Chains A and B, each alone.
Chain A
Amino acid sequence: MIRFILLQNRQGKTRLAKYYVPLEDSEKHKVEYEVHRLVVNRDPKFTNFVEFRTHKVIYRRYAGLFFALCVDITDNELAYLECIHLFVEILDHFFSNVCELDLVFNFHKVYLILDEFILAGELQETSKRAIIERMGELEKLE
């Protein structure tokens, strides 16, 4: 199960933080700080997995942005790595060539896309097209 999802830039600014387990706000800030510290200086040749407390963080870097998933120790790391990539592809498709600024100004949309992709800490949909179409339908209702 995914415990939380973080999207941070190199400076450690949080661009998206979604928690599927209850945490105090102060605890969330601590987690965000720690995860950033863990991943930011790792060599690109290193594994995309870091052990974090009793869980592990699967992360992937895209330009200046770090996408990090915190999952159970028994979960399939490789599959979650693929999952991050699929999410990035969806964002890229939705914003046509996504960049950090898109995510900043449309942060609420990023959350909505995420809600179509992952729910209750589990994968909800694996088809990029299905999610993009669904987002289109929802946008029409606004």
Chain B
Amino acid sequence: MNSFFSGTRLRDMIRAIRACKTAAEERAVVRKECAAIRTSINENDHDYRHRNLAKLMFIHMLGYPTHFGQMECLKLIASAGFPEKRIGYLGLMLLLDERQEVLMLVTNSLKQDLNHSNQYIVGLALCALGNICSAEMARDLAPEVERLLQFRDPNIRKKAALCSIRIIRKVPDLAENFINPAAALLKEKHHGVLITGIQLCTDLCKVSPEALEFLRKKHTEGLVRTLKDVVNSPYTPEYDIAGIADPFLHVRLLKLLRALGQGDADSSDAMNDILAQVATKTESNKNAGNAILYECVETIMSIEDNGGLRVLAINILGRFLSNRDNNIRYVALNMLMKAITVDAQAVQRHRATILECVKDSDASIRKRALELVYLLVNETNVKPLTKELIDYLEVSDQDFKGDLTAKICSIVEKFSPEKIWYIDQMLKVLAEAGNFVKDEVWHALIVVISNASDLHGYTVRALYKAFKTSSEQESLVRVAVWCIGEYGDMLMNNVGMLGIEDSVTVTDSDIVDVVEIAIKRHASDLTTKAMALIALLKLSSRFPSCSERIKDIIVHHKGSLVLELQQRSLEFNSIIDKHQNIRSTLVERMPILDEATFTTRRAGSLPAAVSTSDDVPAAPSSSGGDFLQDLLGVDLSPAPTQSGTNQVQKAGTDVLLDLLSIGAHPVQSSSSTTDILSTHSK
């Protein structure tokens, strides 16, 4: 033994570490300690094993690697004394977990300790087993644990019960061995044993239909009686919390009753009275009481229908919702979400309050409330609710805008009563939070716009106005650019004016200005710029007076460092220069996009599209190509894969491809177009 190395006590080491002023100092102290511990381990030092492991646990907690101490745990567990075993098991639980192979070595020690004559040692072994046992250990040691469920000391029984939970979670096949001993625990008077027994039974019900059936038939009445006793029990200082005897036991009992009552009219019937009693008699001015009420409401909602009880439960939730305590309001929102399937009408009554919760300053409440509002929307209330949500979008936190936008878009798509309303709402969202709008959402919008031929003029004018005020919203810019490219002439001539509109005077150069702004914006990404180039090409044929100016802008991009833009501008430039004869046919308005095809394709590619949402900036490099091909009607079956585009990105671009590829090809591939596109087909 080298006293120099092993000299510091645990306390001294903690002090030394706490005294460190910098992380580097701390690392130095830890390194020195670890070196000393390693030396001590190598010397097989018995006297300090105990202390070394305690130090290692502290070091582990600070986040340093301590795997070299794992074998020490095993040695301590194998030693005879209680203090050594205690620290050994503690180390085992902290430094190892069920996936380490070292753990297999401990199975035998555990088995011995589970059969030890000293009940405290049995307790240690049960505790370790309950916290880290693997499926293999569960199989090996299940008989020991099962036996210990009947041990004379309650401390062991309750530990064995929880250990059994771990075992059946790991190996559900073992459940049937535990049914009888677990049911026996339900008759216990000792709260610790009773609560763990109830928990074990609840878990058994989850994994084994036989257990559920057995407990339902034989124990529902007993459990109802137990709950009655607990509810009516006189003051017991040991378990009292806020004037309630053992709220934890209440909660567990209600949970098990819920499992038994679900889908079974008889047992549901048997528990009606006591549930009514809990729901009406429990004090609701303290958290403990509310925890019980909350659990009780959930049980009432889950078991077989009893009209009276459900009214009671919904009323409790209404009370919760108007509580000043945020925690209570949170659980109310949570529970109303489940209640909506049971009694939607009752939940609708609280709509105004729930809508207020969407605007709460607490993110947790906001999130719950938004989910709930989403479920509350139907054909009749979609307009006012959407208005409220969009109004709130203007003032909401940045980090909430993403969720909120997604939900609004989804509501609008799902329940929109007419196209003009849909387009109006989407434009509002795009103008307010366009940067949060997902690609597939604005793709869908374009499809809808394309199909609403009487609204083309209205939409493009609205987009033009929105662009003037919100040109920083990427998705808005894209939709605006696309519509201007398609329907730019309607913007200028005020074609298809609706009664609600004010007329605007826009010149052709104003319109080209918009697209030019879009293409010159630094924030615009590749997709936007590529779309802007196409819009320019289209405008060049529609506004002959601006043709020269447009050509200049396109020529300017011939020098772009981005291959896609460079290529497009070269191609477009040659269309303008050399192919005047086909230009007007080439840039005809897109045929109406087929909604049904888009919807089915979107459903198919949705997961991929979502998963690629992170690499959107990279994705369009190939989409640009597809875009053009579709436009020109050239069918290139293998989509061009340029450097940096891979499978995943292509999945994202499919949406775009789909969007634009539907319908007839405007021009059959003539020799001139294939010539222009020769770079693509390679």
Contacts and interface: CB of A to CB of B under 8 A. Distances in A.
Interface of A: 14-20, 22-23, 25, 29, 42-43, 45-51, 76-79, 81-83, 86, 104-105, 107-108, 111-112, 115, 119-120, 122-130, 134, 137-138, 141-142
Given A47-B326, A77-B330, A130 B61 contact: no
A138 to B, nearest CB: 7
B248 A83 contact: yes
23 contacts: A14-B61, A14-B63, A22-B99, A46-B361, A46-B364, A49-B364, A50-B364, A76-B291, A76-B298, A78-B288, A78-B328, A79-B251, A81-B287, A104-B14, A119-B159, A119-B163, A122-B199, A125-B191, A126-B239, A126-B246, A126-B248, A130-B238, A142-B86
B392 interface: no
A120 B54 CA distance: 22
Nearest to A142: B83
A78 B132 CA distance: 27
B277 to A, nearest CB: 19
B18 interface: yes
Residue among B18, B54, B94 having the largest count of chain A Cβ atoms under 10 Å: B94
B249 A126 contact: yes
Contacts of B62: 14
B11 A108 contact: no
Nearest to B130: A120
Nearest to A80: B291
B339 to A, nearest CB: 15
Interface of B: 11, 14, 18, 54, 57-58, 61-63, 65, 82-83, 86-87, 90, 93-94, 97-99, 120, 126-127, 130-132, 155, 158-159, 162-163, 165-166, 191-192, 195-196, 199, 238-239, 241, 246-249, 251-252, 255, 287-288, 290-291, 294-295, 298, 326-331, 334, 361-365, 367
B238 A129 contact: yes
A113 to B, nearest CB: 12
Given A22-B98, A122-B196, 7 more contacts: A20-B131, A46-B362, A48-B327, A79-B248, A105-B14, A120-B163, A122-B165
Contacts of B192: 124-127, 130
Contact of B287 (A49, A78, A127): A78
Mostly, the B contact residues are helix
B326 A45 contact: yes
Contacts of B162: 119-120, 122, 124
B287 A82 contact: yes
Nearest to A50: B364
A43 B294 contact: no
B159 A78 contact: no
A112 B61 contact: no
B387 to A, nearest CB: 27
A83 B291 CA distance: 11
Given A20-B131, A77-B327, A111-B90, A127 B238 contact: yes
Given A50-B364, A79-B248, A108 B57 contact: yes
A86 to B, nearest CB: 7
A111 B127 CA distance: 12
Contact of A105 (B11, B298, B362): B11
A48 to B, nearest CB: 6
Given A46-B326, A119-B131, A79 B364 contact: no
B294 A78 contact: yes
Contacts of A23: 97
Contact of B61 (A49, A76, A79, A107): A107
Point out which of A19, A43, A47, A83 has the most chain B C-beta atoms below 10 A from its C-beta: A47
Contacts of A125: 158, 191-192, 195
A27 B249 CA distance: 34
Contacts of B14: 104-105
B97 A111 contact: no
B617 to A, nearest CB: 26
Nearest to A21: B97
A23 B191 CA distance: 32
Given A76-B251, A119-B163, A82 B120 contact: no
A87 to B, nearest CB: 12
B195 A123 contact: yes
A50 B191 CA distance: 31
B98 to A, nearest CB: 5
A77 B295 CA distance: 10
